[in-house]
A and B are shown apart, each in its own frame.
Chain A
Amino acid sequence: AQSVSQHNHHVILSEAASLELGCNYSYGGTVNLFWYVQYPGQHLQLLLKYFSGDPLVKGIKGFEAEFIKSKFSFNLRKPSVQWSDTAEYFCAVNRNNNDMRFGAGTRLTVKP
């Protein structure tokens, strides 16, 4: 079945550690790619998105993601995490306006 896979369910890091969260999708053709963040008790907020062009996209709060078409991947990175980055992170793939599919999410815990 076509899907969006986030391989890490729970990641625990110390402050200042580097972060990389994996996201793979199995859809062919043109897709739009997103990372959303959900802080505890809050709604989803857009971190960054990729539609076309430079495969390395920068988002808010120092996050970036790289689209590798040959690997069907869109991994999220941050060079140095902070305690305030503790949240759940969702990768999403949109094939048209009405077919947004989300990964199961990765919970990030950053220890102070």
Chain B
Amino acid sequence: DAGITQSPRHKVTETGTPVTLRCHQTENHRYMYWYRQDPGHGLRLIHYSYGVKDTDKGEVSDGYSVSRSKTEDFLLTLESATSSQTSVYFCATNHPPDQETQYFGPGTRLLVL
């Protein structure tokens, strides 16, 4: 939909290991978002970015950091993964001129053992 790819698509890691998830978009959108999806919670915003090197926290940012050094890439890092971070992670962007609607990538399924 929005030219968004996410990598990896699946990952299994161990508690305490650092993990980085990548979101890549090809359409030069300014806003990018990271969400996690958990049963019974819908999607919850972790962090978002409104431009290169401009990021801010969302609803559930503890334990996560992000970076955006290029318009097309938005990285989500779990500094020291915990089992509670087992989830499906979705990246999203907005589509100008409609800045209110978000379009989602295919997701990354992360299992922390």
Contacts and interface: CB of A to CB of B under 8 A. Distances in A.
Say if A and B assemble together. yes
Interface of A: 4, 32, 34, 36, 42-46, 49, 51, 90, 92, 94, 97-105
Interface stretch (B11-19, B70-78, B79-87, B93-101): B93-101
Interface string B29-43: 001010000001111
Contacts of A4: 42
Nearest to B102: A100
B27 interface: no
Contacts of B100: 32, 49, 51, 94, 97
Nearest to A46: B101
A98 B43 contact: no
Contact of A97 (B42, B94, B104, B107): B94
B90 A44 contact: yes
Contacts of A103: 42
A100 B45 contact: yes
A40 B48 CA distance: 26
Which 4 pairs across A and B sit closest by C-beta, in order of nearness?
A: A102-B42, A102-B43, A44-B104, A43-B104
A104 B39 CA distance: 7
Given A44-B104, A46-B103, A51-B100, 19 more contacts: A32-B100, A32-B101, A43-B104, A43-B105, A43-B106, A43-B107, A44-B43, A45-B104, A49-B100, A94-B102, A97-B31, A97-B50, A97-B99, A98-B31, A98-B45, A98-B48, A98-B56, A100-B45, A101-B59
Interface in B17-66: 31, 33, 40-45, 48, 50, 56, 58-59
